[in-house]
């Protein structure tokens, strides 16, 4: 615990606050191609059951991080896509770094050897956070999708574990 903030496993009862944080991200226009937040069932089915973390201060969820599968193929069982979101009011306090590090540690404990993220180039804060956590830029998917009628690029980043899958 640091400054009264703990990082712990997400609970289903955290959903409404997680959804609020996701909606904040949607409203920035630089966090996701989604234009609406899903309901719990859709979100729960989309994300892996392991490696779901929240940063909590008292009863308030300040941020969350979770993993999505990248493929159903067995060869990719140790590869996952990372999502990390913070409340705007929690930004700039080192919370993203703590949450990212905790998710990396948990993912390695669960056997993941590669984490990847796709980030809009305009989201410079998230790109810096990822690079500080050991992610490297592997390319840019140009005009990969439209958001609100405008084509958007996505910077692709990945982090290879130094403890899992090193054989």
pLDDT in tens, 42-54: 999 999 999 999 9
CA-CA distance, 93 to 79, in Å (whole number)?
Answer: 29
Which of 163, 109, 154 lies closest to 134, judged by CA? 163
What is the reported pLDDT for 1? 56
Over residues 25-36, mean pLDDT: 95
**Residue pair 56/62 in contact by the 8 Å Cβ criterion:** yes
On the question of pLDDT at 102 being above 90, the answer is yes
Q: Which two tokens stand for residue 111?
A: 């056997």
* Run of H or E including 83: strand 79-86
CA-CA distance, 80 to 112, in Å (whole number)?
Answer: 7
Delimit the domains of the chain by residue range: 5-160
pLDDT in tens, 45-78: 999 999 999 999 999 999 999 999 999 999 999 9
Which of 63, 80, 60 lies closest to 71, judged by CA? 80
pLDDT in tens, 121-162: 999 999 999 999 999 999 999 999 999 999 999 999 999 999
> Domain 5-160 is classified in which CATH homologous superfamily?
Gcn5-related N-acetyltransferase (GNAT) (3.40.630.30)
């Amino acid at each position: 615990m640091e400054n009264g903030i703990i990082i712990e496993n997400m609970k289903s009862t955290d959903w409404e606050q997680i959804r609020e944080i996701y909606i904040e991200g949607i409203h920035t226009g630089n966090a996701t191609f989604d234009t609406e937040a899903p309901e719990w069932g859709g979100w729960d089915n989309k994300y892996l059951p392991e490696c779901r973390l929240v940063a909590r201060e008292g009863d308030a969820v300040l941020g969350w991080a979770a993993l999505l599968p990248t493929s159903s193929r067995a060869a990719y069982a140790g590869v996952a896509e990372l999502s990390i979101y913070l409340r705007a009011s929690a930004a700039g306090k080192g919370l993203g770094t703590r949450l990212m590090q905790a998710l990396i540690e948990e993912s390695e404990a669960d056997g993941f050897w590669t984490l990847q993220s796709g980030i809009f180039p305009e989201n410079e804060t998230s790109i810096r956070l990822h690079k500080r956590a050991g992610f490297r830029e592997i390319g840019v998917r140009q005009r990969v999708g439209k958001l609100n009628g405008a084509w958007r690029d996505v910077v692709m980043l990945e982090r290879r574990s130094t403890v899992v899958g090193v054989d």
